[in-house]
Chain A
Amino acid sequence: MKSIGLIVRRELAAYLRTPAGYIIAGVMLLWQGITFNAYAVGSEPSLSTDVLLRFFEVAGGTTIVSGVLFSMRLLAEERSNGTQTLLFTSPIREGEIVVGKYLASFVFLSVVILLSLYLPALIFVNGKVSYGHIASGYLGLLFLGGSTLAVGMFASSLAKHPFLAVLLAGMFAALLEICWWVARISEGSWASIFEYFSPFYNHFQPFRRGLLQLSDVVFFVTLVYLMLLASTRVLKSQRWQ
């Protein structure tokens, strides 16, 4: 546990000291602000709930993109800088490295996600939505972001360079979403299987509508667990290369 805390602290300090995190956060918040005005609120009068639904739709997309971008510096950067040698010659387990790095990136992404809270708050100026709906949507965003980071972690464990890692992470994340499209052209049980694997289209939507379902939570937690487990295995296997 001590080692995990150590990794988390160092990682967070690195996020704060390097410009990449700020740049990604800034661009994402700016994009959310612009689309909130142009798309969620729009020019036509609309229901407050619809504005919130449209906001969460955009925020879900930016969260996935941020998650992919944040994950690039997780393991691939250590490998390309040669700093993983320090970790791997220290008495610290591969799992602790993976969990520590994951938690740090999740904390940072959560802050970026929560910074957009001022946008749904603006709805209260001219309308009314339930706090529960906002809370459910944000919980969904955290799960969506957390699972994207875990997928990105796995991609990062495979790639030798951060740039490759981000491409691979983007590809994995896209593949999961494409499952939804595949589901629409499949039939019978295949359709429901494919549909199940789409985090955004299938498991985020209930959160977005203010609906908290255990099955969605189980999906996200399982995805994170499996991805982190796979990343740990990849790190362990590097000794065999």
Chain B
Amino acid sequence: MIRVEHVTKYYGNTPAIRDLDFEIQEGECVGFLGLNGAGKTTTLRLLSCLLLPTSGKVTVRGLDVETDPHEIRKFIGFLPDQPPLYPEMNVADYLTFAGRLRKMENSAIQKRLPEVMDTCGLTDVAQQPIHSLSHGYRQRVGIGQAIVHDPDLLILDEPINGLDPVQIVEMREMIRALRGKHTILLSSHILSEIEQTCDRILMLHQGQLAAQGTEAQLAEKLGTGVTIKLSARGERSALQSVLQSVPGVVDVQFQGGTDSLQHVVVRTAEDVREQMAKSIVSADLGLLSLEREATGLEQIFVQLSKGGSQTGAATPGHTSPGNAAAGGEA
């Protein structure tokens, strides 16, 4: 549905995104993840025809954003980071106006409105002026305007920004409910959000695609495999040689401890806790604890952000063939 080919966007002399290259299929729910200033908003604004690329090509359903923005806008719903609300209008009037702007007939809007209000939880405030609404409700009205015309492509920039925990859960439910019906792109710097709502993640760092794929694929791409934390009694050198003899161990790091007590972080290609425990015990070293550390998206994110694109380049052997994790080739 969307093709982004070698797109670069400069604001003055500052590059916001550099040589971005990816593809999004019809019906996918894709999350753009990145720190502030990573280029998420710029990317989404390019896709919604608000900005033009400095170089490269963006096409949506084969239509070029540069030459056919008018056609593309017919099937796009966009929620910017600041919802585009007219404070003096009431919710129902505003959503009607948004529908009319998208060329909907009045009768079609009247039929559609109750559905939209229900999806966004706005039924109770339909007649209230927007300026009297709380931030969470405004955000919902923002989503309402984005979905009122039932667009094929829904683009949400930081949809949970500024919401409280209860509202975040509701928003997540709402996005889940919209999945399948629409192709959804959303951005966030909050990892758990993307993890829980999206099929696929595009991770941006300093304007470049740092990685893409599902959470599992990203973990694989990084080659971190498994991180095991353990504490054991015994001398450091003895423990080190035992650990390194365990097959699959990539890296052993000692973190503090005393002469006779060691705390170690071990990185392994796969989960080798059993063999590791066995080896330590059979070497007569007192094993006190051994646990696998969760490799959540969070950790992947931090590592990728630190390393930028070089992390991907350093572990080419771990990219499984055919998956979408091969950044730059998609």
Q: Shortest CB–CB separation between residue A13 and chain B, in angstroms? A: 8
Q: Which of B100-108, B231-239, B257-265 contacts A (4 or more CB under 8 A)?
A: B100-108
B77-91 CB contacts (< 8 Å) to partner A: 77-78, 80, 82-89
Chain B residues, CB < 8 A from A47: none
Selected contact of B49 from candidates A14, A89, A240, CB within 8 Å:
A89
Say how far B144's CB is from chain A's closest CB, in angstroms.
12
Which of B11, B80, B86, B102 contacts A90, CB < 8 Å?
B102
CB-CB under 8 A from B52, the residues of chain A are 239-240
CA gap between A92 and B103 in the complex, in Å: 9
| Alpha-carbon gap, A240 to B98, bound state (A) | 25
A90 to B145, CA, bound (A): 11
Q: Are B50 and A239 in contact (CB under 8 A)?
A: yes
On whether the beta carbons of A89 and B11 are closer than 8 Å, the reply is no
The CA of A14 and the CA of B86, in the complex, are separated in Å by 9
- Could you tell me the distance between the alpha carbons of A180 and B70 in the complex, rounded to whole angstroms? 43
- CB distance B100 to A6 under 8 Å? yes
Partner of B50, one of A6, A18, A88, A93: A88
Tell whether, in the assembled complex, residue A85 and residue B73 are in contact, meaning their CB atoms are under 8 Å apart.
no
Asked if A192 is an interface residue, CB under 8 A from chain B, the answer is no
- How far is it, in angstroms, between the C-alpha of A6 and the C-alpha of B80 when the chains are bound? 22
Q: Is the interface of A mostly helix, strand, loop or mixed?
A: helix
Q: How far is the CA of A92 from the CA of B102 in the complex (A)?
A: 8
Q: Is the CB of B98 within 8 A of A86?
A: yes
Q: Is the CB of A83 within 8 A of B51?
A: no
Cβ contact within 8 Å between B100 and A89: no
CB 8 Å contact bits of B45-66 with A (1 = contact, 0 = none): 0001111100000000000000
Q: Would you call A241 and B78 a contact (CB within 8 A)?
A: no
B97 at the interface (CB under 8 A from A): yes
Chain B positions 129-161 with a Cβ under 8 Å from a chain A Cβ: 145
Contact between A89 and B51, CB atoms less than 8 A apart: no
| In the assembled complex, A46 has its CB within 8 A of some CB on chain B | no
User: Quick check: is B222 within 8 A (CB to CB) of the other chain?
Assistant: no
Using known A-B contacts A89-B49, A89-B78, A240-B52, determine if residue A18 contacts B84 with beta carbons closer than 8 Å.
no
Is the CB–CB distance between B101 and A85 below 8 Å? no
Q: Verify A17–B102 contact, CB threshold 8 A.
A: no
Are B84 and A91 in contact, CB atoms less than 8 angstroms apart?
A: no
Q: Is A84 an interface residue (CB 8 A)?
A: yes
* Choice from B77, B88, B101 contacting A3 with Cβ under 8 Å: B101
Asked whether any CB of chain B lies closer than 8 Å to the CB of A107, the reply is no
Q: Chain B binding site: helix, strand, loop or mixed by DSSP?
A: loop
Give Cα A181–Cα B102 distance, bound, in whole angstroms. 49
Q: Which B residues touch A88, using CB under 8 A?
A: 49-50
Say yes or no: is B76 at the interface (Cβ < 8 Å to chain A): yes
CB-CB < 8 A to A45: which residues of B? none
- Cross-chain pair count, CB within 8 angstroms: 67
Most buried by B among A239, A240, A241: A239
- Write the nearest CB–CB distance from B133 to chain A, whole angstroms: 15
Q: Is the CB of B97 within 8 A of A85?
A: no
Instruction: List, in ascending order, chain B residues with CB within 8 A of A10's CB.
Output: 86, 89, 97
Alpha-carbon distance A87/B69, docked complex (angstroms): 13
B103–A83 CB distance below 8 A:
no
The B267-292 residues at the A interface (CB cut-off 8 A) are: none
- In this complex, the member of B76, B77, B84, B87 whose beta carbon has the largest number of chain A beta carbons within 10 angstroms is B84
Residues 61-103 of A contacting B (Cβ, < 8 Å): 81-93
Q: Is the pair A241, B76 in contact by a Cβ cutoff of 8 Å? A: no
Q: Are the C-beta atoms of B51 and A239 separated by less than 8 Å? A: yes
Within the complex, which residue of A13, A81, A93 is in contact with B84, where a contact is CB–CB below 8 Å? Answer: A81
Contact between chains at B78 and A85 (CB < 8 Å): yes
| B86 touching A82, Cβ below 8 Å | no
Given contacts A14-B88, A239-B52, contact A93 B70 (CB under 8 A): yes
Report A-chain residues with C-beta under 8 Å of the C-beta of B80: 82, 85
Min C-beta distance of B50 to chain A, whole Å: 6
CB distance from A92 to the nearest CB of B (A): 6
Q: Roughly how many angstroms separate A18 CA and B131 CA in the complex, as a whole number? A: 12
A interface list, Cβ under 8 A from B: 3, 6, 10, 13-14, 17-18, 81-93, 239-241
Q: A13-B89, A86-B84 are known; give 19 further A-B pairs, CB within 8 A.
A: A10-B89, A14-B86, A14-B88, A18-B88, A81-B86, A82-B82, A82-B83, A85-B50, A85-B80, A86-B98, A86-B101, A86-B145, A88-B50, A89-B48, A89-B73, A89-B76, A91-B71, A92-B101, A239-B69
Which 3 A-B pairs rank lowest in CB-CB distance, beginning with the nearest? A86-B84, A90-B101, A82-B82
Binding site for A on B (CB under 8 A): 11, 48-52, 69-71, 73-74, 76-78, 80, 82-89, 93, 97-98, 100-103, 145
List 18 interface pairs A-B (beta carbons < 8 Å), by A numbering. Answer: A6-B97, A6-B100, A14-B86, A17-B88, A18-B88, A81-B84, A82-B80, A82-B84, A83-B85, A85-B78, A86-B84, A87-B101, A89-B49, A89-B76, A90-B98, A90-B101, A239-B69, A241-B11
